């Protein structure tokens, strides 16, 4: 690595260092898992102060290209395993044949062991977007909230918050950690809501502190925020679930029909 010449020299010194290291990473000269030169070494090579080199590393960390490990150094990030979430995981036929919930079925397909931990199951006032979709009062405890942490082979993969009408959930296994065969959709089918269609609203954003803590999200890595709404045989929305995934470890795969 040598300092940039020409017009690039007019850039901030930290940007020049970040650009040079980024080029080494994208070209493969620095491979995943390789250790970067120290701040002192980068500063020496580029003729800058150490805090300038430190700022360059911060920029690369925010781009999710490198990961600092306290006391060990800074390393090029390893290629992440991708969890693929397909819309076919909602298949009624699949859960009837296997008795597995959508997440457990998805993990089985990917050769992983699923683990779900219930964080909260309570009756709450719904967020505005949930009240609107479920057509319930937004100023009273009109929904059941189920907040769960999902793991695959003990790796945290998603935070899931499900909202159901309290009138559907009251007095059922939906208020318990284990909801029985078919999971939530199985119990809602018992209440007369057969899943027919769904809508996913997908956005990307930076994680909250709690989301980053659970998902072990490196600095600079966003999350995928998927707001899912389930509709029954009458076209009525009966479930709203927010899925929060690490964007660098999750892919969304959808199959869909084209209207004539």
| Residue 4 confidence (pLDDT) above 50 | no
Could you give the CA distance from residue 191 to residue 93 in angstroms, rounded to a whole number?
A: 18
Residue-wise pLDDT tens digits, 145-181: 999 999 988 889 899 999 999 999 999 999 999 998 8
The closest of 124, 145, 158, 164 to 243, measured between CA atoms, is: 158
Give a yes or no: residue 1 inside a domain. no
d(CA 220, CA 116): 27
Element spanning 215, H or E? helix 209-215
> In the listed set 23, 53, 76, which residue is the last one of a domain according to the structure?
76
Where is 214: in which H helix or E strand? helix 209-215
Q: What is the tens place of the pLDDT at every residue in 22-34?
A: 999 989 899 989 9
- The residue segments making up the domain with residue 72 are 6-76
Task: Kindly state whether residues 106 and 159 are assigned to the same domain.
Answer: yes
| 44 and 119 inside one domain | no
Residue count of the chain, please give it. 260
In a domain, 258, yes or no: no
What residues contact 119, with CB distance under 8 A and at least 6 apart? 147, 148, 149
- Does residue 93 share a domain with residue 65? no
Q: Are 155 and 188 contained in the same domain? A: yes
Which of 76, 98, 123 is the last residue before a domain boundary?
76
Residues 69 and 117 in one domain: no
- The total of structural domains in the chain comes to 2
Q: Which helix (H) or strand (E) holds 98?
A: helix 92-98
- 200-205 long-range contacts, Cβ below 8 Å, gap at least 24? 200/87, 200/226, 200/227, 200/228, 200/252, 200/254, 201/226, 201/227, 201/228, 201/229, 202/226, 202/227, 202/252, 203/227, 204/247
Q: What CATH number is associated with residue 137?
A: 3.40.1410.10
pLDDT tens profile 235-259: 999 999 999 999 888 888 888 777 7
pLDDT cut 90: percent of the chain above it: 59
d(CA 242, CA 159): 8
Together in a domain, 224 and 249: yes
Is residue 199 assigned to a domain?
yes
Lateral strand order in the sheet of 114-124:
114-124, 143-152, 155-165, 237-246, 223-231, 197-205
- Please check whether residues 105 and 134 belong to one and the same domain: yes
Shared-domain flag, residues 225 and 195? yes
Provide the pLDDT confidence category of residue 99 given band limits of 50, 70 and 90.
low
Whether residue 193 sits in one domain with residue 147: yes
Residues 101 and 173 in one domain: yes
Query: Kind and range of the H or E element at 114?
Result: strand 114-124
Question: Do 107 and 48 fall into the same domain?
Answer: no
Closest listed residue to residue 191, CA positions, set 176, 171, 206, 209: 171
Each residue's pLDDT tens digit, 213-237: 999 887 778 999 999 999 999 999 9
Mean pLDDT, all residues of the chain: 87
CB neighbourhood size of 23 (10 A): 12
pLDDT in the model for residue 78: 75
pLDDT at 129 over 80: yes
Report pTM: 0.73
224 in the same domain as 133: yes
5 pLDDT more than 60:
no
């Amino acid at each position: 690595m040598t300092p940039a010449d020409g017009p690039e020299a007019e850039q901030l010194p930290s940007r020049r260092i970040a650009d040079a290291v980024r080029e080494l990473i994208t070209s493969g000269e620095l491979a995943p898992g390789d250790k970067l030169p120290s701040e002192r070494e980068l500063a020496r090579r580029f003729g800058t102060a150490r805090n300038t080199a430190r700022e360059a590393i911060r920029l690369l960390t925010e781009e999710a290209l490198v990961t600092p490990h306290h006391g060990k150094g800074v390393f090029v990030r390893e290629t992440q395993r991708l969890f693929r979430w397909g819309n076919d995981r909602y298949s009624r036929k699949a859960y009837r044949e296997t008795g597995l919930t959508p997440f457990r079925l998805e993990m089985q397909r990917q050769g992983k062991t699923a683990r779900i931990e219930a964080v909260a199951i309570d009756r709450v006032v719904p967020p505005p977007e949930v009240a609107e979709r479920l057509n319930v009062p937004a100023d009273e405890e009109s929904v059941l909230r189920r907040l769960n942490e999902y793991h695959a082979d003990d790796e945290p993969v998603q935070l899931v918050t499900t909202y159901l009408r309290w009138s559907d959930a009251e007095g059922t296994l939906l208020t318990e950690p284990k909801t029985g065969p078919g999971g939530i959709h199985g119990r809602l089918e018992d209440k007369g809501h057969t899943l027919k269609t769904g809508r996913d609203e997908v956005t990307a954003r930076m994680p909250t502190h709690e989301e980053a803590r659970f998902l072990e999200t490196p600095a600079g890595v966003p999350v995928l925020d998927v707001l899912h709404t389930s509709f029954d045989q009458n076209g009525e929305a009966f479930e709203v679930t927010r899925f929060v995934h690490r964007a660098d470890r999750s892919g969304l795969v959808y199959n869909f029909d084209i209207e004539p």
